[in-house]
Structure 1
């Protein structure tokens, strides 16, 4: 695919990008979905909380989505990585690793987030099997089980009450200083939540199922599951390179329609929100695609009016 023209280039083929492609395809727009095929949720076994798709494997979710989008011939899929983008609103030029050059009126970034390397020995072996980041996604499977929560500071004091809805059998490992106030420590004691500050030496597991967390001071904490706070980075540096304003949380700043600070560039999904759920990303993809389509139609309407004689 070389030097082809598109109405919209969607960078990222997760739930946000796929749902955006579906909406734009149904709106008769020529769309390219460019995705490198390395989704963050590839480590997980199942997708949850998505009506009609609860429990489906992420790879199967994508297969079904692409099959449905296949009914709209104006949508193309490109298994590739975007290397650079130049141009401006109405005429962006997208260059890929495989040498493809695409020209597009609008851009929609659905690049999501990526995990930084996990620095706790043994965590990689259980991530997606018995260690997770979101109880809305995986809490049901670990209900009433003894868990270890790896978190600290203000976010811990948000997470502790949250996880208590799934189990009251949890221990907190802060993997170093807890970064809590005295009042926050008292709150945990009142709820009889054990807390350990010793750094984590390693996580023992068998076939992906955690058995215990071993601390540097020799303490062992038996458990059947872990919830931890991941360290995330943007799935692509391109939005920042193009001048999109970023938030303090490291996400792309957008308005309610998914517009970034750069004309012609939109974004949706995990790249713009901390609501990291497939159903939320898909919903944002749909609403942002509608905004993109409205802008394209309005531009075409006014351009036609300007060239039509009275």
Structure 2
């Protein structure tokens, strides 16, 4: 059994985790970055909205990030999964899927979120190619195209005006009861937005490009792109398993500095925020790492006094 002693274990090698490891490495801390290499954005061909990295493939982004981390000898990356965590602030012990034992003073969860199974037939074939979840990430590529929004209820009335910034030709498929009031339906009608509440039978596509959304009542809604709300779950059960406070949506509760409800445990990125953008995740990883490093430095200062 291999034992690794470090200052910090970062769990998750996405933008938040790698940016945290970068900041900590530059702060001369020994860091173990543990990443099972199952990124949620692997379904997409390009990432957007990240200055200097707009249009870069997620796999290339990760390659470049790991190359940059290689400049800091105190940062090591392990392609493993953490299976259990014990201990407390200053003396944590983590067991990996490969049998490695990591001992550390602090933990930073950057485990992200993951999609629940996509239950609409045909959606998996177009997800990341012509069906997306974030218009700020992918709306530009679908500008002025006829789109379908798969959404319902109050969130639909927020999402529709947002989509209207990229195209004025879109329809709404609620995949069942729309959960709208009469006034809300009337608002969509005034804006010329077709509303279909029949369940979705399937999504027809060709080479990953959506052609139409076919409903159970036989209606076929032609489109060239889809935006939908995914059902998300936390990327790992580990934060909850050790007692971190969680939101109803499955995110780790943190304060404005990235601290969880447990001393010595931090979280950053999509796992700790409703704002799921690459640049936001990287930023939160950086901030959490700064606060974590300051905590380590202050503890060392007081011990040596």
- TM-score, with structure 1 as normaliser: 0.97
In the TM superposition, 1:192-231 aligns within 5 A as: 192-231=192-231
For 1:208 and 1:63, how far apart are their aligned partners in 2? 26
For 2:233 and 2:249, how far apart are their aligned partners in 1? 10
* Partner residue, 1:250: 250
* Partner residue, 1:105: 105
Shift of 1:248: 2.6
* Partner residue, 1:93: 93
For 2:94 and 2:183, how far apart are their aligned partners in 1? 53
Q: Secondary structure at the match of 2:105?
A: strand
Shift of 1:274: 1.1
Are 2:200 and 2:215, in contact at CA under 8 Å, matched by a contact in 1? Answer: yes
CA RMSD between the two structures:
0.7
Q: Secondary structure at the match of 1:183?
A: helix
Between Structure 1 and Structure 2, how many residues are aligned? 305
For 2:90 and 2:67, how far apart are their aligned partners in 1? 29
Q: Secondary structure at the match of 1:107?
A: strand
Shift of 1:249: 2.5
Are 2:233 and 2:249, in contact at CA under 8 Å, matched by a contact in 1? Answer: no
Consecutive unaligned residues in structure 1, runs of 5 or more: 306-310
Q: Secondary structure at the match of 1:48?
A: coil
Consecutive unaligned residues in structure 2, runs of 5 or more: none
* Partner residue, 1:13: 13
Shift of 1:182: 1.6
In the TM superposition, 1:144-223 aligns within 5 A as: 144-223=144-223
* Partner residue, 1:278: 278
In the TM superposition, 1:59-74 aligns within 5 A as: 59-74=59-74
Q: Secondary structure at the match of 1:137?
A: helix
For 1:226 and 1:220, how far apart are their aligned partners in 2? 14
Shift of 1:4: 1.3
Q: Secondary structure at the match of 2:114?
A: strand
Q: Secondary structure at the match of 2:7?
A: strand
* Partner residue, 1:136: 136
Shift of 1:190: 1.2
For 1:151 and 1:61, how far apart are their aligned partners in 2? 31
Shift of 1:189: 1.0
For 2:116 and 2:247, how far apart are their aligned partners in 1? 19
